Structure 1
Amino acid sequence: MSIFDYFKMFRDKSVNVTCPKCSRIAQQSMHKSRKNITMLCPHCGYYFRSGEC
């Protein structure tokens, strides 16, 4: 891992995302939201993508 990867890790912010199943709000990585990567709801364990909401 290069030094630029470490800087990116610290620069990445969190956003509030609403789970489509339980409707609870959780903080997820902005990187996951932008890249449409599958996210896991910490409350109910439902897997979803930000585009499905």
Structure 2
Amino acid sequence: MWTSALWIIGGVWILCGIFFWFFVKSLKEIKRSSWHYKLYDLVWSNYPQYS
């Protein structure tokens, strides 16, 4: 019973990690197209950008 529970928990952690990796990877694309990030860029455009 415990081994199956550990397999399920491990699978959930792996899926969350993959999802988070894709989310971080796609942030640049979202940043180009989202009005929220355009507003953010307008606010912070006077400050030096660190990438």
Return the TM-score normalized by structure 2.
0.31
Answer 1 or 2: which has greater helix percent: 2
Answer 1 or 2: which has greater strand percent: 1
With CA pairs under 8 Å and 6+ residues apart, which has the higher RCO, 1 or 2?
A: 1
Name the larger-Rg structure: 2
Return the TM-score normalized by structure 1.
0.30
